Chain A
Amino acid sequence: MINRTKQPPISKIEKIAFLEPKHFDVERDVKLHWIDAVDDESVKIDFIFNAGTKNEQVHLARFVSALLLSGTNNKKASEINEQIDGLGGFFQADASRESAFVTIYGLKKNIHAILDIVIDAITSVSFPQEEIDQLIARNKQSFKVSSEKVSFLARRAFGKALFEGTNYANQVEYQDFDTVTREQLVDFHQKYYLNGLEKVCVTASVKEKDIHHIIDKVKGWSNKQPRNYAALLSNSPQTIHVEKEGAIQTAIRVGRILFTRKHPDYLDFSVVNLILGGYFGSRLMSNIREDKGYTYGIGSGLMELNATGYFFISTEVGKEVAQAALLEIKKEIEKLQTELVSEEELTLVKNYAIGQLLQSSDGPNAMMDRFLSIDKYGLDYSYYEQVMQTFNEATPEKIKEMAQKYLDWDELLIITAG
C-alpha cells in the first residue's frame, strides 16, 4: 500500500513565460496591442474608451453604452443585430467608473464584416427616441429588481461613502431615468466615444495587414478629452446601516481607500489581503463560513483604479448573525495586527499566490489581461518578477506591520444592508 498520509513532493514555480504583445500606434497617445499566439479560429477585439461614469452623470455613461447599437439614420437596431448575428458575431458593451468597453467576438472568416457593421453603427448612432424610451422602461424595472437585493444596496452605499466628494461617488438614482434626454446622450457619445478611444486590444492569429485595417477604421476616434482620474483620496471612516424591510440576510461591506500597485506597500499588503480573505482557505472563510456557518461566502479584495485604489471585505450573512459576523471580522483583523502569521500559513499563501499568477497568465486572452494590468501603470513584465520576489520574501513581521498600518478598525468604512 502507498502512504496516503504524506503529500507528494511539490516543486516551486521558478519562472512564468510572459508574452509581449505587439504594439502599434493608433494615434500618438492611443495604442493597439496584439497577441497572435492563438491556435484556433477565434478573434476577440476590445475597444477601450474614456467614457466611464466619472465623466458626467452616471446614467449617461450607462445609457450610451447600452445604446451603441440602437440604430443609425440608415439602419434600425434590429437590422444591425440581425447582421452581426448572421455572421456568428457577439457584441458586448459596458461602462465602469473610469472607462467603457466594447468587445467583439467572432471567427476569423467573418471578423472584418462584423467589425465594419459595429464601427459603422457606433460612428453613426442616431439614438432613436423609441430606443431610449424602451431602455428607460427596462432600466426602471431592473433598478427595482436590484433594489430588492441587499448586496446591491450595500454596494451602492459603500461606493457613495468611499468616494465622497468626487464624481466617483455618484450612483444612478431612480428619478434619473425620467430626466435623460436624447441631446445629453448625443453629446456624451460625441465627446467620449467619437473622441475618446484610449486603447484597442486584438487577440487573434490574424495578419499584420488586418491590424492596420483596424487602425485605419478607428483612428478618428482617438481620445481628445481630459482623463480626470481621481487621485489618491483621503479615507473617510464611518458606519452606515441601510434598512431593508423583510430581508432575511444582511449584506456587509467593510473597506477603505488605499492605493494602486505603484505604491511601495501594494504587494506586501496584497499578501495580507490574501491571508485575510483573498482565497478559499482564507481566515475569513475558515472562520465565518467553515467554522461558524454564518454565510455561503465571504471574501476580501483590492481594487485598483488608475490613480487610486481601495480594499474591501464583502459577504452576506443570516440577519440574526450580522453583528456576530462583524465582530468575527474585527477579531480576524486584530489577530493579524497582534499575532505573527505562522511560517506554514505564509508559505501556503505564497505558493498559492504564485500558482494563481501562473494560471491567470495561461492562454492568449489571460495574457492580454496580465499585460493591460501593468501597462495601465506604465510598468512592464519585469514587474511580475518583482511580484514573485516580494511574495517569496514576505515575512510574518512584514504582514503584521502592514495589517497595523492599513487595517486599523477605526479607519474602516463599515456598511450593513438588511
Chain B
Amino acid sequence: MIDFKTFTLDNNLKVIFHRDPSTPMAVVNTLYDVGARDEDENKTGFAHLFEHLMFGGSGNIPDFDGPLQQAGGESNAFTSNDITNYYDTLPAQNLETALWLESDRMLNLAFTPKSLEVQRQVVIEEFKQRYLNQPYGDAWLEFRPLAYQQHPYKWATIGKEISHIEDATMQDVKDFFAKFYHPSNAILCVAGNFEEAYVQDMVNKWYRDIPAGKKTVRNLSKEPVQTDYREKTIERNVPADAFYYGFKMPGKTNELYYTADLLSDVLGRGKSSRLHTVIHKTLNLASEIAAYVLGAHDEGLLMISGKLNKGVSFEQLDKAIWEVLDSVKAHPIEQEELTKIKNKVETTAVFSDQGILNKAMSLCAHELLGIANNINLEQGIYDKISAEMIHNYAQQRLVKTNCSVLKIKASTK
C-alpha cells in the first residue's frame, strides 16, 4: 500500500505527495501528457528531440544540470509513444533546488539556436547508435507501420527517419512548448521524508505564478479494427533470422489489458513458459523466444519475438507457434499454471515498488490514466482474473486476422 496525498493548484497543476520516512533522498517527478503519438506525421521524433532541449537551460536559469549537481542531485528523462517524463533525485534538504529548476523550465525555455543544433546532432547519433548501427536495431522502425496503419503508434519515438530530425526548426520547438508544456498538461510528484504542509508551501511558491495554459484535446487518427493477417519479410545483414509477431490488445485503461498481460506471461515469460518450453527446449527451433505486452495507453500489442536456429525455416516456426497458441485457445490453463503466473506478478510488484523514484513515476503514470490510487488496486485486478477469462481472451484475440508478422531474413552474401 503506497500512501499519498494529492492537491491541485489554481493553474490546474496536479500535485502528488508521497511521504517516505526511510530515505534521506527526495524525488521530483514531472510527467507531461505528450508523447510521440502527438506528433505531426511529417515531423516525427519531435517529442523526444524536445526532451533533449529541456536540458538546455530555461528562461531564468542558463544551465539546468549544474545547479542540481551543485545540490548533490542528478536528473534524467525519457520519452515514450504516450508520455514524456522528467525526474530529479537529490538530497532531501535541497528539494527546493529541484522545484526551482523544474518550475522554471515549465514557465519558459531558453530556446537558443546553438542548443537546437547540438541536440539535433546528439539525437541523430542516438538514432545511429541504437537503431542503425547494430543488428536488428531497425526492427521496430519496420514493425510499427506494419501493425498500425492510421494511429500514430505507427512511428517509433526516435522518429520515422533522420530527415525529420534534421528538418526541425526553432518555430516548431516554440510551438511544441506552447502547446504541451504548461501546468494544465502536467502532473508533478514530490516524494521524500517531508511534512505535507512544507511540500504544499514549496510547490505553491515555485509553481503558482506559471500561466495555466490550455489543455490540448487529443484527436488522434483512429486505427481501424484489424481484419487482415499482415506479413512482411525484409533482408538485413544479420547473423540469424528473427521474427516478430504482434497481436492487437486493449490499452492500459481497459481491464482486459491485465488479462492480456497474464496471457503473455503464460506464453512467454521466463523459462517455464509455454513458448520457451515448446519452441526452444523441445523442438529446438528458436535460440530465444519471449512474449510480452507493450504497455500502451491506446490499443497496444501483445508481442512474441525471437531468433531462429540455423537451418530452421520460418514456416516450421510459424506452424509451431500457432500450435502453442491453439493450445491456449483449446483449453483454459490449469489452476497450477495460473497460480504460478500470479505469484511471479506478485513478486515483481513488491520489488518494483521499492525506492521513491519508482513510486513517484508510477504514481504520476496512474494519475494520468485515471487516479493515482490505481497503483494500489492493480494487484486486486490481477487476483480476480480467472483461467476462463484468459481462455476467452485468447480465443478472441490470438487469431490471424488480429496478427502482424515481421520476418528479418539474414542476407546471404
Contact = CB atoms under 8 A, between A and B. Distances in A.
Contacts of A145: 135-136, 238-240
Interface stretch (A80-88, A158-166, A187-195, A374-382): A80-88
A280 B336 CA distance: 48
A362 B350 contact: no
A253 to B, nearest CB: 15
B72 A137 contact: no
Contact of B25 (A40, A142, A247, A358): A358
Contacts of A10: 70-72, 93-94, 97
Interface in A343-359: 347-349, 351-352, 354-356, 358-359
A299 to B, nearest CB: 13
A148 interface: yes
B396 interface: no
B395 interface: no
A363 interface: yes
Interface residues of B, number: 77
Contact of A86 (B104, B239, B336): B336
Contacts of B65: 280-281
A88 B346 contact: yes
A295 interface: yes
A356 B74 CA distance: 8
Contacts of B346: 88, 107
B343 A86 contact: yes
Contacts of B124: 293
A318 interface: yes
Contacts of B104: 4
Contacts of B59: 4
A89 interface: yes
B362 interface: no
A416 interface: no
A8 B202 CA distance: 11
Given A86-B339, A107-B346, A249 B69 contact: no
A217 to B, nearest CB: 21
A17 B237 CA distance: 53
Given A78-B277, A88-B344, A296-B126, A354 B72 contact: yes
B97 A8 contact: yes
A90 B134 CA distance: 29
Nearest to A3: B60
Contact of A8 (B100, B121, B310): B100
Interface stretch (A229-237, A259-267, A284-292, A303-311): A284-292
B232 interface: no
Given A10-B97, A295-B122, A248 B133 contact: yes
Interface stretch (B171-179, B290-298, B351-359): B351-359
B397 interface: no
Nearest first, the 5 closest Cβ-Cβ pairs linking A and B are A355-B72, A293-B121, A88-B343, A144-B239, A8-B96
Interface of B: 22-25, 59-61, 65-67, 69-75, 89-91, 93-94, 96-97, 100, 103-104, 107, 117-126, 128-130, 132-136, 205-206, 209, 237-240, 270-272, 277, 280-281, 284, 287-288, 307, 309-310, 336, 339-340, 343-344, 346-347, 350-351, 353-355
Given A87-B343, A88-B343, 6 more contacts: A8-B97, A145-B136, A149-B135, A294-B121, A348-B69, A358-B91
